[in-house]
């Protein structure tokens, strides 16, 4: 069968082909660079005339910025935009990606009316197939999240799939998800329409003009050097797609943009004998690794194979992306999958096998935001084959960021500053994207880990912990222990166990948590970001008091838990600061804050030679001793008394002894290693919010019960103070709440992980931000924000403690709702080891 199709595919083809279908249209609003001189200056220069660059230009001009120049080295929409398969899908795992795609869908639908340029927009809907129960669970989780943000979707039967798309073979399906408002559209025409609208709003567009490098002075963008001359500017936006990595490194001060290209294949066929209708649903068969859409009455079908082919590792210098060489042997598994799903295609003539480069990032998420190294240098690239779906929303968020200083949604999961320098090496990227590309369609269960590019950063204790059974997870390139496998456990079975239900590491983590509560555990926390801020005078204290919301003027040796807030009162960081001396402070932040926090501090600290900020993450091994016998262990290792008076909570002293001595002394106290899974369980049952999971740039201390950690009543100014005072007067519109699942069977029911919808009195009220099983309560505990949405208008209203306490709550896990008790403070009536669901009432801790 395949050989016959292959011979057909290799015949001399005639008629309308891919090149004609996707090439640039007439009426492009670009000026010919050789005939029109570039302006000497502009407020913004955008590099890249694809769908990303034109979206940024469109949205900036809509927001009132007019002095904008867009430069394209070839023709508009002649890069990867030109080869896009044209599928717009809103079904994404991340809420921020769902919102971007939903906005893009609405934007593209009205572009033709706005600009007069036909974009080929057709609402087809999408069908996501499930060949396994785990795949169906994954779809049910996505379906729940889509519904609560207003995107229609439903879980359907195989019979319904056959009704929606009669050509599909459904015999091996267990179900599917139908998203009726998804669409197909010509990405090149969308880009041209966006460019046209931007041009009408005053944006100047020049094609065949190459950006050579960005000029930088004192860490700030000052202009760009092109092959047609210089343009002075305040802002530069890198939307160069395949060329973004090289362009970033070409600057006077390099900007690291971690992405790498792979070959991406799809085929085009002649029309079927009975041509497919234009509104035939798009099909995603992730278990078969393929997608299928109607194309001019025939089929366009591609996928994400298990053995991708990375390209351009050594760079490239094409002006425009050309169709790469066909490779039918490489495409054969995807073609076989297509024919199994649509057997009637066996005799269909194939027009072309398209092979085009697509860029992928180290974590399968796009890259946007301002460079941590150069102020005014913004990036929007790395779409992981979802550029059409994300372009509208991503362009909007980046434009908001530039105009207002922050986007309207938290985009930390997409922020360029989530990456470190080690994740930008070409060797690392080449290996990582070979894993990332197939992962796009792989089934991703909770707590999965990347396998490539590991051990980039390790603790000095890595080898010792590894020998003791540590199983590792990666955070910001740093290896951290998840848990420690006892010698009697089947390691291979544990590593291969992946599930949405109770995981096989449950008992291991339980024993670590028990040891933390009854004896003593040591956790290697060396990965946490560590900075030292020192000064010759009082400058360090003065600037830190302004940059942080809690009072740092404490006795030497004391630790202060504080937020680093933005002007809106939201958390840019949540950290602990120890006062080492009168003029020296030691700052401990989450692992993935290393780049973001450094950039924020450098941006806001004055240029003072007497003030020094130093990253000392590499200099210190951090050991966390947890448990009632921790003081006993420390007492034998230190000459200083370990009584509460001499060593209270939130107090620090210098390092005592190395790990080996701690473990040796701790043996008689039952010491053992513990990992981050145990720590997560402990912190969630204690209602301790964590930055990047529960807290973000749009979360304030007043919304998560941390008003006591803010110096509002001390008469000192700090960033975010005015916003918090206003919020204190007006009330909060969301409140972090702790949920304890009531009717959930840990052994049999699906587990909550994060992102589950929260319902109050049957009405959607928010989502969980993190979840864990509490071995103390013997129940699942979720943290999440509760909103008060008006039933009439949907607008948010003030959330009070009374509003929280009067509600009846449910947590939606993959479409099944479980009853939950809501708490605003940590639970104090902790359960003993015996489960007592019916006769024990959970009580609140009244007070802070």
CA distance 337 to 332: 9
Helices and strands: H and E segment counts in the chain: 22, 39
The pLDDT value given to residue 833: 37
Residue 140 and residue 201 in one domain: yes
**831 belongs to a structural domain:** no
The pLDDT value given to residue 3: 37
**763 belongs to a structural domain:** no
Beta strands at 571-581 and 559-565: parallel, antiparallel or unpaired = antiparallel
CA distance 777 to 837: 9
Q: What tokens were used for 248?
A: 């970033």
The pLDDT value given to residue 316: 61
Tell me which residue of 393, 343, 342, 333 sits closest to 368, measured CA to CA.
393
| pLDDT digits 0-9 by tens, 765-779 | 999 999 999 999 999
DSSP labels, 655-694: --S-HHHHHHHHGGGT-EE--HHHHHHHHHHTT---BTTT
> Residue 651 CA to chain centroid, in angstroms?
34
| pLDDT digits 0-9 by tens, 616-638 | 999 888 899 999 999 999 888 87
**480 belongs to a structural domain:** yes
CA distance 24 to 7: 31
pLDDT surpassing 70 at residue 732: yes
**814 belongs to a structural domain:** no
Helix (H, G, I), strand (E, B) or coil at 530: strand
**2 belongs to a structural domain:** no
Instruction: Say what percent of the chain tops pLDDT 90.
Output: 81
53 pLDDT tier (thresholds 50, 70, 90): very high
Helix (H) or strand (E) holding 136: helix 133-148
Residue 633 and residue 562 in one domain: no
Residue 566 and residue 514 in one domain: no
Tell me which residue of 582, 500, 503 sits closest to 539, measured CA to CA.
582
**252 belongs to a structural domain:** yes
CA distance 691 to 697: 9
Q: Which residues pair with 463 in a beta bridge?
A: none
pLDDT surpassing 70 at residue 482: yes
Residue 336 and residue 383 in one domain: yes
Residue 309 and residue 345 in one domain: yes
Cβ neighbours for 263, distance < 8 A, ≥ 6 positions apart:
308, 309, 310, 311, 324, 327, 355, 356, 357, 358
- Identify the DSSP state of 782: E
Q: What is the CATH number of the domain that holds 124?
A: 3.50.50.60
Helix (H) or strand (E) holding 624: strand 623-626
Residue 406 and residue 518 in one domain: no
**502 belongs to a structural domain:** yes
Residue 311 and residue 298 in one domain: yes
| Domain boundary residue, one of 370, 393, 417 | 417
pLDDT surpassing 80 at residue 656: no
Instruction: Give the mean pLDDT of 5-20.
Output: 32
Q: What is the CATH number of the domain that holds 705?
A: 3.30.70.1400
The residue assigned the tokens 């959607």 is 764
CB-based contact 126:152 (threshold 8 Å): no
Residue 191 and residue 244 in one domain: yes
Pure H helices in 182-282:
187-200, 244-249
Residue 227 and residue 95 in one domain: yes
Tell me which residue of 792, 771, 791, 789 sits closest to 781, measured CA to CA.
771
Cβ neighbours for 522, distance < 8 A, ≥ 6 positions apart:
623, 624, 625, 626, 659, 662, 663, 666, 671, 672, 673, 674
Q: Which residues pair with 284 in a beta bridge?
A: 128, 291
The pLDDT value given to residue 29: 60
Residue 671: φ, ψ to 5°: -65, 150
pLDDT surpassing 50 at residue 718: yes
The pLDDT value given to residue 650: 52
pTM reported for the whole predicted model? 0.92
Helix (H, G, I), strand (E, B) or coil at 510: helix
Residue 601 and residue 640 in one domain: no
| pLDDT digits 0-9 by tens, 547-592 | 999 999 999 999 999 999 999 999 999 999 999 999 999 999 999 9
324 pLDDT tier (thresholds 50, 70, 90): confident
CB-based contact 364:385 (threshold 8 Å): no
Cβ neighbours for 645, distance < 8 A, ≥ 6 positions apart:
none
Identify the domain containing residue 553 by its residue range.
528-619+700-731
pLDDT surpassing 50 at residue 842: no
CA distance 337 to 421: 39
Lowest average pLDDT, out of 94-108, 170-184, 539-553, 639-653, goes to 639-653
**547 belongs to a structural domain:** yes
pLDDT surpassing 70 at residue 790: yes
Residue 311 and residue 245 in one domain: yes
Residue 562 and residue 661 in one domain: no
The pLDDT value given to residue 388: 97
Instruction: Give the mean pLDDT of 699-712.
Output: 96
Helix (H) or strand (E) holding 821: strand 816-823
| pLDDT digits 0-9 by tens, 181-229 | 999 999 999 999 999 999 999 999 999 999 999 999 999 999 999 999 9
Helix (H, G, I), strand (E, B) or coil at 106: helix
The pLDDT value given to residue 64: 96
840 pLDDT tier (thresholds 50, 70, 90): very low
| pLDDT digits 0-9 by tens, 385-419 | 999 999 999 999 999 999 999 999 999 999 999 99
CB-based contact 651:545 (threshold 8 Å): no
CB-based contact 801:824 (threshold 8 Å): yes
| Domain boundary residue, one of 679, 711, 731 | 731
- Identify the DSSP state of 835: -
pLDDT surpassing 70 at residue 708: yes
Count of domains for the chain: 3
841 pLDDT tier (thresholds 50, 70, 90): very low
Instruction: Give the mean pLDDT of 332-342.
Output: 97
């Amino acid at each position: 069968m395949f050989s016959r199709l292959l011979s057909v595919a290799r015949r001399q083809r005639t008629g309308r082909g891919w090149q004609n279908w996707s090439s640039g249209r007439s009426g492009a609003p670009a000026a010919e660079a050789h005939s029109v001189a570039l302006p000497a200056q502009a407020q913004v220069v955008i590099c890249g005339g694809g769908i990303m660059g034109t979206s940024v230009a469109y949205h900036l001009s809509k927001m009132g910025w007019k002095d904008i120049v867009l430069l394209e080295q070839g023709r508009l929409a002649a890069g990867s935009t030109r080869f896009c398969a044209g599928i717009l899908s809103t079904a994404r795992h991340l809420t921020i990606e769902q919102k971007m795609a939903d906005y893009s869908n609405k934007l593209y639908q009205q572009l033709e009316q706005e600009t007069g340029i036909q974009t080929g927009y057709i609402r087809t809907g999408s069908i996501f197939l499930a060949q396994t129960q785990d795949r169906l669970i994954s779809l049910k989780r996505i379906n729940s999240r889509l519904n609560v943000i207003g995107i229609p979707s439903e879980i359907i039967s195989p019979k319904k799939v056959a009704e929606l798309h009669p050509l599909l073979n459904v015999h091996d399906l267990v179900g599917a998800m139908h998203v009726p408002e998804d669409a197909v559209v010509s990405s090149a025409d969308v880009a041209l329409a966006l460019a046209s609208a931007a041009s009408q709003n005053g944006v100047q567009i020049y094609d065949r003009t190459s950006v050579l490098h960005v000029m930088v002075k004192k860490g700030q963008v000052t202009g760009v050097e092109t092959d047609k001359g210089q343009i002075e500017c305040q802002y530069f936006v890198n939307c160069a797609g395949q060329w973004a990595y090289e362009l970033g490194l070409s600057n006077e001060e390099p900007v690291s943009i971690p992405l790498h290209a792979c070959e991406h294949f799809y085929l085009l066929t002649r029309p079927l004998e009975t041509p497919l209708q234009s509104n035939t649903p798009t099909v995603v068969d992730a278990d078969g690794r393929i997608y299928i859409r109607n194309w001019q009455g025939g089929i366009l079908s591609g996928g994400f194979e298990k053995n991708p082919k990375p390209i351009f590792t050594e760079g490239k210098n094409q002006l425009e992306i050309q169709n790469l060489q066909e490779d039918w042997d490489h495409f054969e598994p995807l073609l076989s999958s297509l024919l199994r799903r649509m057997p009637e295609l066996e005799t269909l003539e194939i027009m072309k096998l398209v092979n085009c480069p697509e860029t992928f990032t180290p974590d399968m998420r796009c890259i946007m935001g301002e460079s941590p190294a150069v102020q005014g240098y913004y990036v929007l690239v790395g779409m992981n084959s979802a550029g059409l779906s994300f372009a509208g929303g991503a362009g909007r968020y980046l434009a908001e960021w530039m105009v207002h200083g922050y986007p309207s949604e938290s985009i930390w999961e997409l922020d360029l500053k989530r990456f470190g320098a080690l994740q930008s090496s070409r060797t690392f990227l080449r290996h990582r994207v070979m894993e990332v590309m197939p992962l796009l369609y792989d089934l991703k269960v909770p707590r999965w880990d990347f396998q490539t590019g590991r051990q980039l950063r390790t603790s000095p204790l890595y080898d010792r912990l590894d020998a003791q059974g540590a199983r590792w997870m990666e955070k910001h390139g740093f290896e951290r222990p998840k848990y420690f496998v006892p010698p009697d456990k089947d390691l291979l079975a544990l590593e291969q166990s992946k599930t949405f239900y109770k995981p096989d590491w449950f008992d291991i983590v339980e024993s670590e948590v028990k040891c933390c509560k009854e004896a003593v555990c040591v956790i290697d926390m060396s990965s946490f970001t560590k900075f030292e801020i020192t000064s010759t005078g009082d400058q360090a204290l003065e600037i830190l008091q302004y940059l942080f919301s809690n009072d740092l003027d404490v006795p030497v040796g004391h630790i202060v838990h504080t937020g680093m807030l933005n002007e809106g009162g939201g958390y840019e960081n949540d950290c602990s600061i120890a006062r080492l001396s009168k003029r020296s402070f030691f700052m401990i932040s989450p692992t993935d804050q290393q780049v973001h926090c450094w950039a924020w501090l450098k941006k806001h600290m004055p240029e003072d030679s007497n003030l020094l900020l130093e990253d000392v993450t590499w200099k210190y091994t951090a050991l966390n001793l947890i448990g009632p016998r921790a003081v006993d262990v420390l007492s034998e290792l230190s000459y200083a008394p370990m009584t509460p008076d001499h060593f209270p909570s939130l107090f620090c002293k210098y390092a005592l002894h190395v790990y080996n001595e701690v473990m040796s002394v701790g043996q008689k106290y039952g010491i053992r290693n513990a990992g981050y899974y145990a720590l997560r369980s402990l912190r969630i049952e204690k209602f301790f919010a964590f930055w990047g999971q529960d807290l973000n740039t749009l979360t304030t201390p007043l919304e998560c019960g941390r008003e006591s950690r803010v110096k509002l009543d001390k008469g000192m100014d700090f960033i975010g103070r005015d916003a918090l005072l206003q919020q204190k007067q007006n009330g909060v519109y969301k409140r972090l709440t702790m949920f304890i699942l009531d009717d959930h069977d840990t052994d049999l029911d699906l587990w909550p992980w994060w992102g589950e919808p929260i319902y109050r009195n049957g009405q959607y009220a928010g989502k969980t931000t993190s979840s864990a099983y509490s071995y103390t309560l013997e129940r699942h505990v979720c943290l999440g924000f509760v909103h008060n949405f008006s039933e009439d208008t949907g607008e948010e209203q003030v959330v009070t403690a009374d509003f929280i306490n009067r509600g009846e709550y449910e947590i939606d896990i993959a479409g099944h709702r479980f009853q939950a008790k809501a708490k605003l403070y940590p639970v104090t009536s902790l359960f003993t080891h015996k489960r007592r669901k019916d006769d024990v009432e959970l009580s609140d801790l009244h007070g802070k």
